[in-house]
Amino acid sequence: MLTGSRGISLILAIAIAVLVMAFLSLIPSSTSAALWGTLILSFSISYLLISITLEFLVYREIGNIYNLLEKIQKKDLSEIQDKSLRSSLSPLRKINTVINSYALARQREIETLQKNAEFRREFIADISHELKTPIFATQGYIHTLLDGAIDDKQVRMKFLKKAAKSLDSLDHLVQDLLTLNQMESGVIKFSFTEFDLKDLIQEVIEELEHKASKREVTIKLEAEPGKNYTTLADRQKIYRVCQNLIFNAVKYNHNGGEVIVGIKSSKNQIQVDVKDDGQGIPPEDLKRIFERFYRVEKSRSKEKGGTGLGLAIVKHILEGHKSKISVSSTVGKGSIFSFQLPLEKEKKVQEKEPTEAKA
């Protein structure tokens, strides 16, 4: 290839030598030996001078620019490109490759930023939408009271109670959002302790029994008597996982339905299955229910007082325990949500954990 400094020098040197020879041949007294001598001499001198100039002035400068580029882009260059660059001699080709790889890296960066921006936009739209509902309801009740309803004693109490309920759901939503955000940014630390998972589930069931009985839903715990269910986990957070799953099983069940919480302990693991015979989840929604704010039936779930964040929180908590949540569901028949936690060797004297704060 004649594109390097040597190639250019060669072409220019030949051109100069030919020109000099052509001029010299016009002089009638010049001999052919003198002509050839001049040709060789002018070619050699031109070649040397041109290549030195190119090599040391132009190409050295380009080399410097390349080194600088390489320093700036060190992070962006992949190893493969690095190897091919080292074997390539031409600084121009090197610069070309560096600029190409730089452009590619920047393009990838721009795409990631665009995706993040879109995700942020969607998230803000979702949050605003979710916040709007309770704020709008509270605003409505308070304005009606201010417009005169306050004088009617019965209406006054009813509206104040409704406004308070809307504010409670707003508080619930903000709490869930904060928890999710702190978990994603790693602010929330997990504090692992040993505890009996069966006892914890029993506590959750006791807490939810009142809500379930309102809809005549029964909650049963199925565990093998005498088995060890000691686990090492963050008790408060696992409480929240069980609370979310069992409450969902009650909420999305029909009146008079049944929820069975099965707990099985094998060699190294404890498996928890929360089974309901409720409405079930269509297959196309099944993979999305762990996303923030995703609800199968938007209006129906909202009416039931959900924030749409419960399962997203469950997923994060279990990921923090190196476990994961799985679900199988049949529309019209019901759903089973399952997760596993490690089984710990039973201690002879099991201390009871202090009472949990509500999630």
Ligand X SMILES: Nc1ncnc2c1ncn2[C@@H]1O[C@H](COP(=O)(O)OP(=O)(O)O)[C@@H](O)[C@H]1O
- Tell me which residues touch ligand X (CB under 6 A): 244, 248-249, 252, 276, 278-279, 281, 289, 294-297, 301, 306-312, 335
- Rounded Cα distance between 243 and 250, Å, is 11
Q: Among 234, 256, 263, 235, which Cα is nearest to 338's?
A: 263
278 binds, among Mg ion, ligand X, none (CB under 5 to 8 A by kind): ligand X
Please state the closest distance from residue 329 (CB atom) to ligand X, in A: 7
Asked if residues 274 and 345 have their Cβ atoms less than 8 Å apart, the reply is no
Residue 278 interacts with Mg ion (CB under 5 A)? no
Rule CB under 5 A: is residue 248 a binding residue for Mg ion?
yes
Tokens read off for 45: 């001198």
Q: Cβ of residue 186: shortest distance to ligand X, in angstroms?
A: 21
Distance CA 176, CA 310 (A): 8
> What minimum distance in Å lies between the beta carbon of 335 and ligand X?
4
Residue 46 binds: one of Mg ion, ligand X, none (C-beta under 5 to 8 A by kind):
none
Q: From residue 357, give the alpha-carbon distance in Å to each of 173, 204, 239, 353, 354.
A: 18, 12, 9, 12, 9
CB of 91 to ligand X, least distance (A): 58
Q: Which residue has the tokens 């007294």?
A: 29
Residue (59 or 252) nearer to ligand X, CB: 252
Q: Which is nearer to Mg ion, 51 or 248 (CB)?
A: 248
| 173/223 with CB nearer ligand X | 173
Q: How far is the CB of 131 from ligand X (least distance, A)?
A: 15
Tell me the torsion sign for CA atoms 125, 129, 135, 136: positive
Residue (179 or 248) nearer to Mg ion, CB: 248
Task: Compose the 192-231 pattern: x for residues touching Mg ion by CB under 5 A, - for all others.
Answer: ----------------------------------------
Cβ pair 262, 302 in contact under 8 A: no
Between CA 173 and CA 128 the distance in angstroms is 11
Q: Which residue is nearest to Mg ion (CB)?
A: 310
Rounded to the nearest whole angstrom, what is the least distance from the CB of residue 279 to ligand X in the complex?
Answer: 5
Contacts for 76 with CB less than 8 Å, ≥ 6 apart: 101, 102, 105, 106
The option from ligand X, Mg ion, none interacting with 91 (CB < 5 to 8 A, set by class) reads none
With beta carbons less than 8 A apart as the criterion, state whether 356 and 207 touch: no
Q: Which residues, other chains included, contact 176 with Cβ-Cβ below 8 Å and sequence gap of 6+? A: 307, 309, 310, 313
Q: What are 280's two structure tokens?
A: 């079930």
- The residue with its CB nearest to ligand X is 306
Name which of 98 and 274 has its Cβ closer to ligand X: 274
Q: Which residues bind Mg ion (CB under 5 A)?
A: 248, 306, 310
